[in-house]
């Protein structure tokens, strides 16, 4: 299985909105509404931010939202804050009943 | 609140078997509502799903690692374990255990443990 495709980096200024894309295939992202997003600060374990494409776990800010169109899922962060600076990973369920992650995107808050 | 903690050797020799255990507290590995997963992250690189186990013993593994991976569960100790055989330097990574509420909802994660493959 091939890793999902994410941009290596994105950046934005405080208060702005940014979107991170996650492109897969019709065997994973395109065929299932089981895309999750994770935030990882340096030296820390990843934290679940979005599951099932657009659902937020309890305690996650509503500034984080997810969506999907075809084989591409997206994570949008609105009202960017300094604490949002981190690496972000998407993952998807696959037709082989396995999981596949994206390569990760480094978000820089300018 | 569920807490997961990885444990095991931080240094393994090439060609040997990496063995890690994840101890679950505040919850039960016997719960039918979750898979129990292993995920790794090479230094400076992205996440790679290794596989999961269900309380019944059913497993599913990453095809690229399947020939070398075994995940097991010990319900009496509330633990699950990872064995990766014939390791090479490419297996050097931080290894995380995580609870999966099915279909890749990994939450929570353990803090991770760095395993270095070197002679």
Each residue's pLDDT expressed in tens, for chain A with a length of 110 residues: 789 999 999 999 999 999 999 999 999 999 999 999 999 999 999 999 999 999 999 999 999 999 999 999 999 999 999 999 999 999 999 999 999 999 999 999 99
C-alpha span between B86 and B110 (Å, rounded): 25
Look at residue A1 in the predicted model and tell me its pLDDT.
74
CA-based Rg of chain A, rounded to a whole angstrom? 13
Residue A89 near chain B (CB below 8 Å)? yes
Question: Rounded to a whole number, what is the distance in Å from the CA of A97 to chain B's nearest CA?
Answer: 8
Q: Which residue has the tokens 């390569």?
A: A103
Residues in chain A with CB shorter than 8 Å from the CB of B62 are 1, 98
Question: Is residue A83 helix, strand or coil?
Answer: helix
Please report, for chain B, how many H helices and E strands are present, in that order. 0, 11
Residue B2 near chain A (CB below 8 Å)? no
- Smallest CA–CA distance from B44 into chain A, residue: A42
pLDDT, tens only, B59-117: 999 999 999 999 999 999 999 999 999 999 999 999 999 999 988 899 999 999 999 99
Look at residue A79 in the predicted model and tell me its pLDDT.
97
- In the beta sheet, which residues pair with residue B69? B84
- In the beta sheet, which residues pair with residue B108? none
- Smallest CA–CA distance from A56 into chain B, residue: B105
C-alpha span between B50 and B54 (Å, rounded): 14
**Nearest CB to A103; choose among B46, B103, B107:** B46
Residues in chain B with CB shorter than 8 Å from the CB of A2 are none
Per-residue DSSP letter, B65: T
The pair phi, psi for residue B26, each rounded to 5°, is: 80, 5
CB B14: neighbour CB atoms within 10 A? 12
**Nearest CB to B112; choose among A32, A45, A92:** A45
Q: Is the Cβ–Cβ distance between B18 and B115 less than 8 Å?
A: yes
C-alpha span between A20 and A9 (Å, rounded): 9
Q: Which two three-digit tokens encode residue B9?
A: 């050797």
């Amino acid at each position: 299985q091939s890793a999902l495709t994410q941009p290596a980096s994105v950046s934005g200024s405080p208060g702005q909105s940014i979107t991170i894309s996650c492109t897969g295939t019709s065997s994973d992202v395109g065929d299932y509404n089981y895309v999750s997003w994770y935030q990882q600060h340096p030296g820390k374990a990843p934290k679940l931010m979005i599951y099932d494409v657009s659902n937020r776990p309890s305690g996650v800010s509503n500034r984080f939202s997810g969506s999907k169109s075809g084989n591409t899922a997206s994570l949008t962060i609105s009202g960017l804050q300094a604490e949002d600076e981190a690496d972000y990973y998407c993952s998807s369920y696959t037709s082989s009943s396995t999981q596949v992650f994206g390569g990760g995107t480094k978000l820089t808050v300018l | 609140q569920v807490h997961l903690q990885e444990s095991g050797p931080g240094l393994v020799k090439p060609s040997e078997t990496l063995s890690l255990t994840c101890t679950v507290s505040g919850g039960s590995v016997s719960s039918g509502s979750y898979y129990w997963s292993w995920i790794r992250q090479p230094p400076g690189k992205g996440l790679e799903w290794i596989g999961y186990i269900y309380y019944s013993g059913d497993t599913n593994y990453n095809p690229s690692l399947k020939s070398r991976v075994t995940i097991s569960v010990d319900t009496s100790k509330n633990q699950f374990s990872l064995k990766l055989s014939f390791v090479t330097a490419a297996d050097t990574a931080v290894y995380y255990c995580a609870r999966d509420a099915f279909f890749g909802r990994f939450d929570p994660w353990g803090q991770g443990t760095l395993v270095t493959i070197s002679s």
